[in-house]
Amino acid sequence: MALIEFENVSKHYGDTIVLENLSLTIEDNEFLAVVGPSGAGKTTLLRMLLSQEAPSSGRILIDGAPIAPEPMPDRGVVFQRYSVLPHRTVIGNVMTGPEWQAAPFTGRLFGKARQLLKARAQDMLDRVGLGGHAALYPAQLSGGQQQRLAIAQALMMNPKVLLLDEPFGALDPGTRRAMHKLVLELWSEHQMTVVMITHDLSEAFHLGTRVIAVDKRRHDPHAPHRYGSIITSDFDAKPRLARQLARAAG
Amino acid sequence: MRRVINRHPSRRMKILMGALPFILAIAIYAFAADARGADGPDKLMPGLNAFTSAMSRLMFDIDRATGTRLFWADTWASLARLGVGLGISALIGLVIGVLVGFIPFLRALFEPFFAAFSLIPPLAVLPILFILFGLGELSKTVLIVFGIAPFIIRDVMLRVAEIPREQIVKAQTLGASSWQMILGLVLPQVFPRLISSVRLSLGAAWLFVIAAEAITAEAGLGYRIFLVRRYLAMDVILPYVLWITLLAFAMDYALRRTHDAIPWTRFKEGG
User: What kind and span of H or E run contains A24?
Assistant: strand A16-26
Most A CBs within 10 A among B159, B168, B169, B173, hence the mutation to make, goes to B173
Say what the pLDDT of residue A246 is. 66
Task: Please state, rounded to an integer, the average pLDDT across all residues of chain A.
Answer: 89
Which residue segments constitute the domains of chain B, with CATH numbers given? 57-262 (1.10.3720.10)
CB contact under 8 A, A72 and B184: no
What is the spatial distance between Cα B70 and Cα B210, in angstroms, rounded to a whole number?
16
Which residue segments constitute the domains of chain A, with CATH numbers given? 1-74+161-250 (3.40.50.300), 83-158 (no CATH)
Say what the pLDDT of residue A243 is. 67
Nearest-CB residue to A85 (from B185, B267, B270): B185
CB contact under 8 A, A72 and B267: no
This model of the complex carries an ipTM of 0.90
Q: Which of A3, A2, A1, A43 has the alpha carbon at shortest distance from A19? A: A43
- pLDDT for residue B270 is more than 50: no
How far are the Cα atoms of A25, A56, A63, A154, B22 from residue A28, in angstroms, in the given order?
Answer: 10, 26, 9, 19, 74
Say what the pLDDT of residue B271 is. 34
Most B CBs within 10 A among A46, A70, A85, A90, hence the mutation to make, goes to A85
CB contact under 8 A, A73 and B174: yes
Q: What is the pLDDT of residues B78-98, one digit of tens each?
A: 999 999 999 999 999 999 999
CB contact under 8 A, A96 and B184: yes
How far are the Cα atoms of A91, B151, B254 from residue B192, in angstroms, in the given order?
Answer: 22, 16, 13
| Cα-based angle A90, A93, A99 (whole degrees, multiple of 5) | 140
Q: Is A43 on the interface with B (CB under 8 A)?
A: no
CB contact under 8 A, A100 and B180: yes
Q: Is A224 on the interface with B (CB under 8 A)?
A: no
Q: Are A48 and A55 in contact (CB under 8 A)?
A: yes
DSSP-H helix ranges across chain B: 11-36, 48-60, 70-102, 104-117, 126-133, 137-162, 165-173, 178-181, 187-215, 221-228, 234-260
Q: What is the mean pLDDT of residues B169-190?
A: 94
Q: What is the pLDDT of residues A218-249, one digit of tens each?
A: 888 887 778 888 888 888 877 766 666 666 66
